């Protein structure tokens, strides 16, 4: 891990570390301690801190950006932004994996690309930025990295569970829950495509595709919600 490559990494991050040891600690995987069978500092404590820094920075931004949204959608929007998959993707964009300090065993088993390692190290990195520069510095980094993830208020509402929303909408009108039906499953076992429909009293109101039955049902519910909301808007009487 050369000084030049670390300088480039810090430029991508948008925070030049005053304390280089904090950066090194954030990049040190716990496997180092296990491999060396002695007390070696690693990034788990920083990961714990970084999780809180991320939560606070993103919570405040969502609160400020979307005053019309209540606790439910805001909580789900935040969870969507900081789930393990999303954090691993943030780490990939930074090229974090190539800078991880790993044990020999972790290295040879693909540890640099492992999503859990990337997500954990990303959280640790946010904790290190906080300790190095304070909350304002950490918040600046977080908001710049996550800027494209905030979306519009309408997209945030889409973070809600479409199947749950559809069931609530339909059962407000009648007691019959929506029914999901698998229409097709094609492709090889490792890369299947599923198509599902959702029905209300036997009538199809949405159809969706996905790489799993669950994803296809979720997409079908989303399509059904759009259909039902559009129909309700059309039926609404015009006002002068």
Residues 21 and 94 in one domain: yes
The mean pLDDT of the chain is: 87
Catalytic-residue membership of 51: yes
**pLDDT confidence of residue 204:** 95
> Confidence class of residue 240 from pLDDT cuts 50, 70 and 90?
very low
**pLDDT confidence of residue 237:** 64
Residues 106 and 128 in one domain: yes
**pLDDT confidence of residue 79:** 86
CA 14 to chain centre: 21
Q: Per mean pLDDT, which of 6-15, 62-71, 225-234 is the most reliable?
A: 6-15
pLDDT of 54 over the 80 cut: yes
Tally the C-alpha atoms within 13 A of residue 51's C-alpha that lie toward its C-beta. Answer: 10
> Confidence class of residue 122 from pLDDT cuts 50, 70 and 90?
very high
Residues 102 and 142 in one domain: yes
Rounded to an integer, what distance in angstroms lies between the CA atom of residue 186 and that of residue 111? Answer: 33
CATH of the domain at 213: 3.30.160.20
Rounded to an integer, what distance in angstroms lies between the CA atom of residue 165 and that of residue 119? Answer: 30
**pLDDT confidence of residue 236:** 65
pLDDT of 80 over the 80 cut: yes
Number of domains in the chain: 2
Catalytic residue among 47, 61, 120, 123: 123
pLDDT of 45 over the 90 cut: yes
Residues 148 and 195 in one domain: no
* Residue bearing the bigger pLDDT, 31 or 91: 91
* Residue bearing the bigger pLDDT, 235 or 238: 235
* Residue bearing the bigger pLDDT, 10 or 191: 10
Catalytic residue among 51, 61, 106, 120: 51
Residues 186 and 146 in one domain: no
Residues 59 and 175 in one domain: no
Whether residue 75 lies inside any domain: the answer is yes
Q: Tell me the mean pLDDT in the region 212-219.
A: 89
Whether residue 157 lies inside any domain: the answer is no
User: Which one-letter DSSP state was computed for residue 41?
Assistant: -
Residues 226 and 137 in one domain: no
Residues 145 and 65 in one domain: yes
Catalytic-residue membership of 226: no
Residues 148 and 171 in one domain: no
Residues 168 and 132 in one domain: no
Structure token pair of residue 192: 């299947």
**pLDDT confidence of residue 38:** 66
Q: What is the pLDDT of residues 175-190, one digit of tens each?
A: 788 999 999 999 888 8
Residues 21 and 136 in one domain: yes
* Residue bearing the bigger pLDDT, 123 or 80: 123
Q: Tell me the mean pLDDT in the region 121-129.
A: 97
3-state DSSP percent of the chain in helix, strand and coil, to 5: 65, 10, 25
Structure token pair of residue 90: 């943030």
Residue 179 pairs in a beta bridge with 199
145: domain range? 3-152
Rounded to an integer, what distance in angstroms lies between the CA atom of residue 84 and that of residue 114? Answer: 11
Among residues 152, 185, 209, which one ends one of the domains?
152
């Amino acid at each position: 891990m050369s000084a030049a490559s670390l300088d480039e990494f810090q430029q991508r991050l948008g925070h030049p570390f005053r304390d280089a040891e904090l950066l090194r600690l954030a990049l040190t995987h716990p496997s180092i301690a296990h491999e060396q069978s002695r007390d070696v500092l690693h990034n788990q404590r920083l990961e714990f801190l970084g999780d809180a820094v991320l939560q606070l920075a993103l919570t405040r931004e969502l609160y400020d950006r979307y005053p019309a949204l209540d606790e439910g959608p805001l909580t789900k929007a935040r969870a969507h932004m900081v789930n393990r998959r999303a954090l691993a993707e943030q780490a990939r964009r930074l090229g974090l994996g190539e800078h991880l300090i790993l044990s020999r065993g972790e290295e040879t088993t693909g540890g640099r690309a492992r999503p859990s390692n990337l997500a954990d190290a990303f959280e640790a990195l946010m904790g290190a930025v906080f300790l190095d520069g304070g909350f304002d510095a950490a918040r600046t980094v977080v908001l710049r990295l996550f800027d494209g993830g905030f979306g519009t208020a309408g997209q945030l509402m889409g973070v809600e569970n479409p199947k749950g929303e559809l069931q609530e909408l339909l059962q407000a009108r009648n007691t019959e829950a929506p029914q999901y039906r698998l229409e097709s499953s094609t492709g090889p076992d490792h890369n299947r495509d599923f198509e599902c429909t959702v029905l209300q009293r036997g009538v199809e109101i949405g159809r969706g595709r996905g790489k799993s039955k669950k994803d296809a049902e979720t997409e079908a519910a989303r399509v059904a919600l759009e259909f039902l909301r559009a129909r309700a808007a059309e039926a609404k009487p015009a006002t002068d």
